[in-house]
Amino acid sequence: MLKRYLLAPGPTPVPPEALLAMAMPIIHHRSPDFLPVLDSAKKGLQWLYQTKNDVLVLCATGTGGMVGSVNNFFSPGDKALVINAGNFGERWTKICKSYNLSVEEIKIDWGYTVKPEDVEKALKKDPSIKGVFVQASETSTGVYHDIKALAEIVRKYDNTIFVVDAISALVAHDLRMDEWGIDVLIGGSQKGLMLPPGLAFVGVSEKAWKFADKATSPKFYFNFKKERESLAKNQTSFTSPVTLIIGLNESLKLLRAEGLENAFARHERLSRATREAIKALGLDMFTKESPSYAVTAINAPAGIDGQEIYKNLRVKYGITAAGGQGHVKGKIFRIAHLGYAGAFDVITAIAGVEMVLKGMGHPLKLGTGVAVAQELLMV
Ligand SMILES: *Cc1c(COP(=O)(O)O)cnc(C)c1O
């Protein structure tokens, strides 16, 4: 038997409290049993999103939330400004184009963050831009974009909304939807929320709802105005993923007990310990600035294939981390510290990386990175 450890940036491990609750018999989504379940999830999500707005619950993976955030607020021909700093930024472009939006990209080298002044310049030059699209945490490169600064810029433009894919950032980073003025904030179940894949969440501001009134893109399954009406009655428009929503209440209960500030601080601490341990091993960060608290992206040492590191971690030691995506596949590997994560997840990951690299002939002293992580994670 090989004991398995899930240290990927989604899916992430599910705590026993949620697993147990999800093992209960199915209840009917139109019965009175379900109404308080969704009511509680709805309120918990508003707490997590730091918002008074509706947070829609969709039966989809995170990408479904992204798709719905394009076709519900925009019409064919509308101008979209996409901040493309990695694989998921690229996804925004593809989704926008599939609904015939006119896309302008701010392309950023992988490993770097967007400069807010570049967004300001683009909006000044063309105030007819209807939406600015970004990732909070760009999971493919391990970068966190400055959502607060970006929101401050976009909110000055009445005809532009700010659409944030926070699928990997939610729970790891402080994202103040109302205070900062984020218009559309997207999350997913299998990342910071510590659940199986299958739920997407979309917070929608009053400003964005006005866009929804005018948007003519085709819609059927993802119809946010209908979902909003259903949610007001503690329902979803179609069959509710009742099991996942029951699990969601358990995850939210754990997070509420921890407190939002503590959850963010925990992710910050775990990410810092991971980075410092990696540096102590003589490895370079792939992320050049503003590291995400959710995932750490690391350059494979010269002459070693990043995919082989990822594969050896999994095959030899049962650790599922992540390799590289797109053009950096083979050049990097990634370790997540997201959701149901603690000190020993980082220590396990670093110990595994040391053993794998030594096994591949890379010179290092076992325990070097682990010791650094231990120092930083001691309480
Ligand atoms: C995981 C992820 C997604 C969505 O992926 P799904 O497979 O559709 O859940 C989107 N954006 C980011 C930044 C992600 O990390």
Determine if ligand 1 sits within 6 Å of the CB of residue 188: yes
Nearest CA to ligand 1 atom 12: 167
pLDDT the model gives residue 377: 98
Cβ–ligand 1 distance for 167 under 6 Å, the answer yes
A 10 A CB-CB count for 2 gives 10
Q: 16-257 has which CATH code?
A: 3.40.640.10
Residues 6+ apart with CB under 8 A from 220: none
Ligand 1 atom closest to Cα of 190?
Answer: 9
What are the residues whose beta carbons fall under 8 Å from the beta carbon of 182, sequence distance 6 or more? 147, 151, 162, 164, 175, 176, 203, 205
- Closest by CA position to 181, among listed 213, 159, 153, 202: 153
Ligand 1 pocket mutation, candidates 167, 186, 295, criterion most atoms within 8 A of CB: 167
Residue 231 one-letter amino acid: L
Asked whether this chain's domains 5-10+259-377 and 16-257 adopt the same fold, the reply is no
pLDDT at 195: 98
User: Ligand 1 centroid vs 142 CA: distance in angstroms?
Assistant: 13
Burial of 17 (0-12, 13-18, 19+ CB in 10 A): middle
| Alpha carbon distance 95, 345 (integer Å) | 34
* Residue having the nearest C-alpha atom to atom 6 of ligand 1: 62
CA separation, residue 308 to residues 177, 220, 241, 363 (Å): 40, 43, 37, 16
The pLDDT assigned to 341 comes to 98
Whether 181 is in the pocket of ligand 1, judged by its Cβ within 6 Å, is no
Pick the CATH number of 5-10+259-377 from 3.30.428.10, 3.30.470.20, 3.30.70.20, 3.90.1150.10: 3.90.1150.10
Ligand 1 atom nearest to CA at 166? 13
Give, for ligand 1, the residue of 95, 137, 140, 168 to mutate: max count of ligand atoms closer than 8 Å to Cβ. Answer: 168
For residue 191, give the ligand 1 atom closest to its CA. 1
What pTM, to 2 d.p., does this model score? 0.98
Per-residue pLDDT of the chain (379 residues; tens, 9 = 90+): 999 999 999 999 999 999 999 999 999 999 999 999 999 999 999 999 999 999 999 999 999 999 999 999 999 999 999 999 999 999 999 999 999 999 999 999 999 999 999 999 999 999 999 999 999 999 999 999 999 999 999 999 999 999 999 999 999 999 999 999 999 999 999 999 999 999 999 999 999 999 999 999 999 999 999 999 999 999 999 999 999 999 999 999 999 999 999 999 999 999 999 999 999 999 999 999 999 999 999 999 999 999 999 999 999 999 999 999 999 999 999 999 999 999 999 999 999 999 999 999 999 999 999 999 999 999 9
In the chain, domain spans: 5-10+259-377, 16-257
160 Cα to the center of ligand 1, angstroms: 24
